[in-house]
Every structure is written in structure tokens, then in C-alpha cells.
Chains A and B, each alone.
Chain A
């Protein structure tokens, strides 16, 4: 749902600036009319809402409407620095909206408002920037959130890589809902809402180093709708986290450590595309650590796991939902996987990035 505060009409009637150059220059960061043209033409026109159009230094949000939705404000921020800016299945704009919406939604919040702060390297193609802003607008409309305030900076060539976007977001958590990694208990079931590793593999592939044509697309999507269905069907859900950077393995390790429980997963039960598995085999990567942008890991009590799985499978973003393991009393703080071969091994946190193996 969207709560859209009303603002005076006067600001919206101000004549809008427009941009007639092919590339962003340092002049567009100078605070003068060139900057206003950039903001008006690219961002304000794409995001198109009265709170933003007022162009005050802050968005003004009515408290009464927020309070009607719950008793806790959820507030989050994330920066997006992805290379390449456009990739199969999405772009940095869609990612910046979905990522922050998901960070709110996994806490059980109804996402409402986002900010958008863009750091632009001089020389960036204006049409590309327009396309990215439109993509943000369409992702925001799809997620039912409004981008209500923002900022742009233009930096010298080399001071950033083409375009960095930061989005902050606020949402409201309804009374009585309390999700947390520390709430996992032995016997709880662990679910994921579909195929893992697509985003990480798509991005590595899009960089083109390997000249593989795997046809893998990013799974980038806003998951608040799916999460709402899950929470309806399984009201005692303990914990939800989006499996972004660090992948499934990292989320499970955080849950195991926070709750001092063990986690056992079944390799065979983890949904994954054959292409993603093959891609990782070639590069010597472990798909359990690949980033996702449209996947959540949920921990629910044993007696609600079937209801949870059923509700998630009924949602378009959860058709491939699978129960991949359970919380145990063994090995507190550790994640253990039963391998396809019938052995078991520890799935640890990574120290840094995964590095391709030599041979």
C-alpha cells in the first residue's frame, strides 16, 4: 500500500528545467541551473510525486498516517555500486529500489518511502542516466513506495565508477511482530523462495571475463508482497533475511551465531539452476556464497512450515519455494551441510570475496 501525503500545489507549477547535452559534466554538480536541469529532467520527472516535486531540502511525512500502520518505524540504508550498470534481469536503478524495499520487508515492515542519492562520474551518458531513473521509478511504483527526497553529486572522472546510488528507506512494522536472527530454535524449518545464485552468476557473466553465454538473469525483485503472504500463513515466523552479498551461506551463519543453535541443510534440497551450478564448477566458485537480489531465507517453527511453504508457492516470486534444512541443537553457531554424496561438511563464513581457483 502507499501512503501519499498531500503537499501544496504551488511548487509543482514551477517551470521544469530540461537537459540538452549528451553527457553529464561537472557543471551539473555545481549547484546552479545546470544542476537543477539535471534533477528536474532526469529524476523529478521520472519519480513524479508531489512530496519530491516540492524540492524542499527534506521530505515531510505525516506521522498520523504512519502510526495507523503499526507501532515501530523501520529505517534502513544501502549503497549500490554495481558493475556493469545494466545487466541481464535489471540495472542499478531497479536494484537500488528493490534492495532497500527488501531490507525493510525482511524486518516485517510495510515499505513506504525511499530516498535516492546519486553520485555521478562526469561523462556519464544522460540517456543511460534517464533510463536508470525510469527503472527506479517503475520499480518503486511496482513496490508501492514513493521516492520522496534525494541528492545528486557529480565527481571528477575516476573519483567514482560511472554511477553510485544510495537509497534509504522507511517503513512501518505492525504491532506484535518481532522477527530476529536470535529467535531461531532447534526444530525450526529453513525455507528459501526459489533458485539461488542467479544474480551473482549473471553479474559475473555480464562482466564478460569468461566469454560464457550462460543466459542467466538476475533475480532482482521486491519481495514485500511475498513476505506479507508468508507472515499471514505463518504468524510465528522467527526470522527472515534476504540472501544478498555472501549468499545463503552467510545468512545461515549469522542466524546460527545469533541464536547459538546449529543449522543443518541438505545440499540436494537447495534449488539451483543447472547453468548456475555449471558456471560455478568452471570458475571454482561455491554457489552457496553467490549473491541473490530476489531471494529470502526464512526460519519458521516446524508446525507452520507447510503453511509457510504453501503460501510462498502461491505467490509469483515463490513458486520454487523449498524447505532446505532445519535448526538443530548440535554444533551451536555452525552450519553443516549434508552433501549430495552422503557426507557432511561445515559451511563457514567467507573471509573476503570468493576467488577463482587456479586450476
Chain B
């Protein structure tokens, strides 16, 4: 089933295997038909229902690539990330990291396999032990994997703290409650980098940070990606943010993938009505664009994940839904080079551009230039805290 030719754009059973040309063809992570379920229990402990948070999700991630996963509440994106790292392992499906199947691995083998796979969480404060000083937090993975001697580890901790822009002398002995959100997130990143992983899963790493700090941390992610050749699985609910950091983007809704494709195409020519609804919902910091008629693109409320709609899960909110959508679940299929969509009636180019009222690119560029002072002080200024 997986014996698809991975070179070129040949695709078999709806699995997404093509990346953009410049990211190489080595596949770092393969996810196949991933299913994750949660059993809900009523008060007395009786089974209340089964929540299928992730339903049959498959994708590939290449070396050096950042795959952005976008979705709203109930999309299952965070659950997806947890399933990939096997915390907890998925109910069904395969997760093949660096050629090795992770599902069902026993503890020691899993530990060895996970060495190159790390994660950064959403809430910077609760992802660090409140009682541990920074250096100890960053050293923990090194100790757990028995790497180096004490002094070698301390050196590595110091160098990785430098890498994320935290002076080890100043911040090493501090505890998380003495740090700001942005600084905590840097520590979390340092911890993730200590083992020199190949892939970092980022579960909404900047969502709880202030705007300016968010930009600093995003730049840090980018910088490290370039310097260390990292790959990211970047999960967020903010489309604009995801575009900033991704090479390819996947859109999820109620546990299923709606659309996957190269980043520029997803944004300029979305194929799935949900992607379009997401794009038009984003308030644009250009008052000329103004309110977009979101009501034309999405209606109603999110259905209960316990009882998702039959066929296409988006159909209850889709303005283009038809009978077929209720009867037949659309599969993810390729529309063009590397661009896949799970929809029976994907959008045309004219639908998207006519409706979206995308503002004139040149006008925005001029505005941005106009307001900058003469000195080059507003260019990518990275200041460590």
C-alpha cells in the first residue's frame, strides 16, 4: 500500500508525498491513516461516547521542511501532534519517523527513536517544571540519554541557551516564574534543541505571547531552522502566522484533512471552501480591505465532534454543499503539483479571486516603505533579551 514511487509527483492512495522542489526528497516523517479516539465517560464512569479527534490523516514531511497545520477548535491538530510523539499512541495508523515505525514500540526503543523528535508546547509556563532552574530544565534530556560528562553537558546547555538568545549566566539559575512568557518559550526551545533533533513539533508555540514577543520568537524559529537545518511540524490556528513559517500547509477540520499544498498556492488559490472561509475571516490590518462578507463563505456553528456530519464533515457549514456531500466522504486527491483537496466541488480560480477582494500588492508595499524612518533600524532586528 505504501509502495508508491516517492520521486516525482506520482501519488497513489491519496497520500501526500510531494513537497516543493527545494526541500529535497528525503522523507523524515510519514503518517498513514492516523486515527485517535477518546472515550468519554459520564459521571458514573459509564461510557458516554467516542470522540474521534483525528480521523484517517495521512501526510509526509520532508527533511528541512516546515509543514504548517492549521485548524480551529475541534480540528484535532493538537491531538495529531500528540499522536505523532506517541503521547498517547494513536488507536490506528502508522507513524514512521526516520524509517522506523513508532506505534507499538516499547519504552526503550521508543525512547531511542524519539531522540530526534522533540516538541514545544503552547503554554510556556506550564511546559516547564516550576521548581527547576533553567539550566536543569535544559540539561534533563542530556541526562536522560546519558550524553557526555557533567561538564560537557553544562557546556552544551550554555551553548544552546546562547543559541536561543538567553544569556546563560544571567538566566541560568532562574526559575520559570521569574521569566516572561517569551523567555520561557525560549527555554522550552533550548530544551528541545539540546539533543540536536531533526524534527520539532510545535504546538501553537506563540499563541499565548504578546505581538512583539511573538515576532521575536517566530524569528528565532526561522533562524534556527536555517542554521541547524531543522524540520518543523508547526501547528497553529492563525493562518497568517502559519504562512510565515511554512513550506507546505495542511488545513484540518473536525479531525480530517481538507487541503494540503505548497504555502503560496494555498493562500493565493485555495481549493477547499473551508480554507477560503478561514482566509476571509482573518481581519486584515488594512482598513481599505474592510469587512469581508464572511457570511458568504461559512455559516452556522461547529457541529459536535462526537457526532460529526455524514459524508463531508464541513457540509453543514459550506455554502456550496450538495447532496453528494452528505452521501460520500470526499478523499484527499491531487489537483495539481503537490496540491491536494478533499472536496467534491473544489473551488475555481475565479470564485476565489472574485470573492476575496485581495488588495493590490503594490499599494501595500508602498505604505510599508513610506512609514519607515530613514535609518535601517526597523530591519530584522534580533535583540536578545
Q: Are A and B subunits of one complex?
A: no
